[in-house]
Amino acid sequence: MEFLSDQLTHIIQALQQFQLTPWKMVGFAGTLLFTSRWFVQLYYTRKYKRVVMPLAFWWLSVCGSVLLLAYFTVGKNDSVGIISNFFPVFVSVYNLVVHLRHRKNDVTGDATA
């Protein structure tokens, strides 16, 4: 029980010393965008009653990943955060480009390759 009490005291002290810096706001914004993409995807999946990855999902992924990458690279200099956000930004950009290219082909009537 003493262990839990010590941990709770440590958490309370850390929260009392919390400072909101501009870089933390960038990190929180990135986390909010990156997490909100799942709510967007859930909304569209429930709406269409099948798994749907809407365009907004990819935009939120790209923007959230870029903000988190900036936060971990410049604001915090955290190699684990950099590595964990480096790959998803490329996958999200690729999927966004494919989605937009497919939409363009639907509009123009061009055959997709």
pLDDT the model gives residue 77: 86
| Structure-block tokens of residue 35 | 């997490």
Whether 1 is covered by a domain: the verdict is no
Whether 30 is covered by a domain: the verdict is yes
The domain total for the chain is: 1
pLDDT the model gives residue 108: 54
Whether 15 is covered by a domain: the verdict is no
pLDDT the model gives residue 113: 46
Per-residue pLDDT tens digits of the chain, which is 113 residues long: 788 888 888 888 888 888 888 999 999 999 999 999 999 999 999 999 999 889 999 999 999 999 999 999 998 888 898 888 888 888 889 999 998 888 776 655 555 44
User: Is 26 within 8 Å of 75 (Cβ atoms)?
Assistant: yes
Whole domain around residue 101: which residue ranges?
A: 20-108
Whether 33 is covered by a domain: the verdict is yes
| Structure-block tokens of residue 84 | 């964990």
Whether 57 is covered by a domain: the verdict is yes
Whether 82 is covered by a domain: the verdict is yes
Whether 73 is covered by a domain: the verdict is yes
Whether 92 is covered by a domain: the verdict is yes
pLDDT the model gives residue 41: 93
Q: Is the dihedral of CA 46, 47, 51, 54 positive or negative?
A: negative
Please give the C-alpha separations between residue 22 and each of 10, 84, 86, in angstroms, as whole numbers. 25, 21, 21
